[in-house]
Structure 1
Amino acid sequence: MRRIAGLLLVPALLLSTAACGTDEDKGSDSNPSTKSAASQGGLPAITAGAAFGEKPTLAKGVGAPPKELKIEVISEGKGEVLKKGDQAKVHYLGQVWDGTKPFDNSFDRKQPFDVTIGGQGVIEGWQKALDGQKAGSRLEVSIPPNLAYGDQEQPGIKANSTLVFVMDIVSSKTIPVSAKGTEVAQDDSALPKVGTNTDGKAPSVTIPKSEPPKKLVDQYVLEGSGPVLTDKDSVVVRYQAYMWKDGKQFDSTYRTQAPPPVWPLEQVTVKGLKDGLIGKKVGSRVLLVLPPDQGFGTKEQNGIPKNSTLVFVVDLLTKS
């Protein structure tokens, strides 16, 4: 269902071009990527920074770009093979096929990009390129418009552009299917009762008929043993969300086969959700009850009435 995903996080364009000014400002005369050259496989040549971990420069593509996704393994790593549900950290540089300057890169930011294989939040060409690759590998990939942004223009990217990426798969890890912490007593009859199963299925949630609490409730159902979350962390979650008044579920990650989402806590816009998770341990299942001033307040949101008390049950699976 995931109908309110856009209300929980600050919207962010995949592979944001906000940080690409460093490359644009250098000018084309001193950039070796202004020359057209092809690698042995036909993709634009890497003209500098060819080794894994080095910031590369790319030549302009030669001739017409491939109409299908094309992947060259520049160097193969020795890590685990990426599969659906895994989380990878990827350094990248992106350039349009017929361009001479990158439109974005993560190397300058010194922060790899988090990708959940088979999940949302990245263009389809990225998902297809990464699936089945080994951690530690460097790839060069050309992505046709239908697997990128199509006819939608993006900052630094014209409509119907073929994109070229150099991608370093820095690391990967398997995401747990469930929180697996120690059960914490649920002895307050005025609060929702939450199931403690750890099999990856949605836990039961029973909301009492009493009046909701007036202040934020944030307590463990299962207390994990992982690191404590700060507002600078990103966390992979599974969650369910309900309205207290009628017990109606309005959002759940369990209703889809997609991998669980990543929440950068700095970008969580719902105050009670953010405040309730900061300070909690990874590996935990957390019950949150958000009074209106900690939730969506006096505005109706996607069918959720104004002044609604909200109930979230969140599994904190792993730090991103």
Structure 2
Amino acid sequence: MRIRPLAALSVAALSAVLLAGCASPAEPDAEATPSATAAADLCDAQVESGEAVESVTIDGAVGEKSTATFTAPLEVTELQSTVIAEGSGDPVAAGDLISYALTAFSADTGEELGSFGYADSPALPQQISAENPLGQLLGCATPGTRVVAAFPPTTDESGAEVAGEVYIIDLLDVVPTAAWGEEQEPVDGMPTVELADDGQPSVTLPEGDIPTEFAKATLKEGDGDVVETGDTVLVQYQGVSWNTGEVFDESWGAAPFSFTVGSGVVQGFTDAVLGETVGSQVIAVLPPAVAYGEGEINDADLVGQTLVFVIDILAAQPAQ
């Protein structure tokens, strides 16, 4: 499947799951936070309609993979988007996580280029803002909205020409930004957690010696799929050093973080989510052996420190 990278609109490409601005446990990205201006301008962010998108006929229902019919080659001179089916409920707001699906077609030939987000090819939610592609294509739409977008020809990173494209994009739903599972009984000896109204945790460490073994507990048990090795998961997290009692990193205030279970993060972070269900919140204690390694304690790289992570599991995409 080849779907155009939208480099002019986002650092992410629609050929992969769009997760522009994600933080990581070691590298928080404060710039990912939607600004107040972005929130105010989301309704105005949607690009205008035009002759190209208005000439496209769609066959199929919102939420189901559909076909786009138009006279090819379709001349597209600028980015266009038009609503062809309006949803219901509350409009999305900047910073919301949305689930969505799309199908792409070549403007030159009319052939289907690929799709994702439907039942046979689930995709992770994306945070929407006026500054990313979904905000510019959907604006402040309501769940159940379908738009048709058209993209002019461009060039890829190698300088090769990429033909114009037509997208069907369905806004499926708004996804919670914090764990929604059923609260569980606290586990003796584990740190305790209090939550702000938006779900941001605050960790209190128990007195006594710093633990030397990995441990985890489920604070909220979700009702979603079980997380397995190879899944790509979307989480909110906060990391606290047991040695200093300070928060050293978190996704809260930036953007949820995605990673592949079994790679890309320290072993203890994978162990914390493995076998848990979507919608759950877990707390995990990571000694250096499953965190950033043994050695002389160094605040800069967390070597030698025992870490506590509170992790909210928001979504999981099975390995393809």
**TM range, smaller chain:** 0.5 to 0.7
Determine the structure 2 residue equivalent to 1:219: 217
Determine the structure 1 residue equivalent to 2:128: 118
> Which of 35, 60, 81 is equivalent to 1:71?
81
- Between the aligned partners of 2:98 and 2:279, the Cα distance in structure 1 is 16
- Between the aligned partners of 2:299 and 2:312, the Cα distance in structure 1 is 24
Secondary structure of the corresponding residue to residue 81 of structure 2: strand
- Between the aligned partners of 2:118 and 2:310, the Cα distance in structure 1 is 37
Alpha-carbon displacement from aligned partner over 1:100-144 (angstroms, at most 9, x marks no partner): 877654389941433324269xx8222221232344443222457
- Between the aligned partners of 2:250 and 2:133, the Cα distance in structure 1 is 26
Determine the structure 1 residue equivalent to 2:30: none
Q: Normalising by structure 2, report the TM-score.
A: 0.63
- Between the aligned partners of 1:115 and 1:225, the Cα distance in structure 2 is 17
Quote the offset at 1:241 in angstroms: 0.8
Which amino acid counterpart does residue 278 of structure 1 have in structure 2? L
**Matched-pair contact (CA < 8 Å) for 1:90–1:114:** no
Determine the structure 1 residue equivalent to 2:182: 181
- Between the aligned partners of 1:224 and 1:156, the Cα distance in structure 2 is 49
> Which of 263, 267, 271 is equivalent to 1:271?
267
Pairs within 5 Å for 1:140-219: 140-142=148-150, 153-154=156-157, 164-169=165-170, 171-175=172-176, 177-179=178-180, 181-188=182-189, 191=190, 193-197=191-195, 199-207=197-205, 210-219=208-217
Quote the offset at 1:313 in angstroms: 0.9
Q: Please list every run of 5 or more consecutive structure 2 residues that lacks an aligned counterpart in the other structure.
A: 1-10, 18-48
Quote the offset at 1:290 in angstroms: 1.6
Cα separation, partners in 2 of 1:263 and 1:157, compared to 1, 3 Å: farther
Pairs within 5 Å for 1:52-67: 52=61, 53-56=65-68, 59-62=72-75, 65-66=77-78
> Which of 94, 100, 106 is equivalent to 1:89?
100
- Between the aligned partners of 1:144 and 1:270, the Cα distance in structure 2 is 42
Identity fraction in percent = 22
Secondary structure of the corresponding residue to residue 255 of structure 1: coil
Quote the offset at 1:204 in angstroms: 1.9
Q: Normalising by structure 1, report the TM-score.
A: 0.63
Secondary structure of the corresponding residue to residue 113 of structure 1: coil
Secondary structure of the corresponding residue to residue 236 of structure 2: strand
1:312 aligns with 2:320: no
**Matched-pair contact (CA < 8 Å) for 1:219–1:287:** yes
Cα separation, partners in 2 of 1:167 and 1:133, compared to 1, 3 Å: farther
